[in-house]
Structure 1
C-alpha cells in the first residue's frame, strides 16, 4: 500500500498538507492506530530525525463516488521553526535551490503491525516572502 510521492516545503511557512490514500475493500482497523512522519537526511540516517510529527490526525471514510472504495485522509504538519532549523547545503544545491531529504509516513496499528503509507523525497525550498 506504499505510495512514493515527493513533498515540497519551504523554510518560510509551516508544512501542512492533506494527503489522501484511496483503497478498496473493508475499512482498515484504525481503532487505537497512530500515524507518524519523519524527515531525515537520507533513509536510515542515524540519530534523531531532522523533523517529525507523531500522532498525525487522520480520518477514514467511504469514497464519495466509488462504491467499495475508501479514503484515508492524513494531515501532517511541521512547524516553520523546525524547517528553518534544518541543515542546509548538505546536498550541495545551487544558491536558491531546494535542499533534499527523505521522509516516511508510517501507520502503526493497535496490535503493533505497521504499514508504510508514503515515502519519497522531501524538498525544502528556501522560500521568498518572509512577512
Structure 2
C-alpha cells in the first residue's frame, strides 16, 4: 500500500501537510495503532533520524460517494525549530546556493500487534526559505 511521493518543506516555517490514502475494502484495524515519520540523510542511514514525529494525527473514514472505498488521512507536522539550519544539517548533498537539501522520509503505520506497514516514502526536500520573520 506504500505510495512514493516527494514532500517539500522550508527552514523558515513549520511543516504541516495533509496526506490522503484511498483504499478499497474493510476498515483497517487502527485501534491502538500509531503512525510515525522519520527523515534521514538517505534511505537506510544508521543512527538516529535527523528528525522524527511519533503519534501523528490520523483518521479513517468511508468515502461517501465511492461505495466500498475508505480514506486514511494523515497529518504530519514539524515545528520551525526542528527545521532550521542549526538543527538540520545543510550542504550534505551539495546543493547550489538557494537550492533545497534532499533527505529521505518514511511514514509508517504500526498496528497494535506491532506489525508495520509503510504508507508513504520518498524525498524530503528542505528549502532554505526566503522570509525570515
TM-score under structure 1 length normalisation? 0.98
Partner of 1:91: 93
SS of residue paired to 1:28: coil
Partner of 1:60: 60
SS of residue paired to 1:43: coil
- Give deviations 1:40-78, integer Å, cap 9, x for gaps: 000111111001000001000011321110000001011
TM-score under structure 2 length normalisation? 0.97
Query: Are 2:108 and 1:117 equivalent residues in the alignment?
Result: no
User: How many residues in Structure 1 have an aligned counterpart in Structure 2?
Assistant: 131
Q: Report 1:20-39 matches (<5 A).
A: 20-39=20-39
Of 107, 110, 114, the match for 1:108? 110
Moved beyond 2 Å, runs of 4+: none
Segments of 5+ residues of structure 1 without an aligned counterpart are none
CA distance in 1, matches of 2:40, 2:130: 24
Deviation at 1:130, TM superposition (A): 1.1
CA distance in 2, matches of 1:9, 1:123: 6
Segments of 5+ residues of structure 2 without an aligned counterpart are none
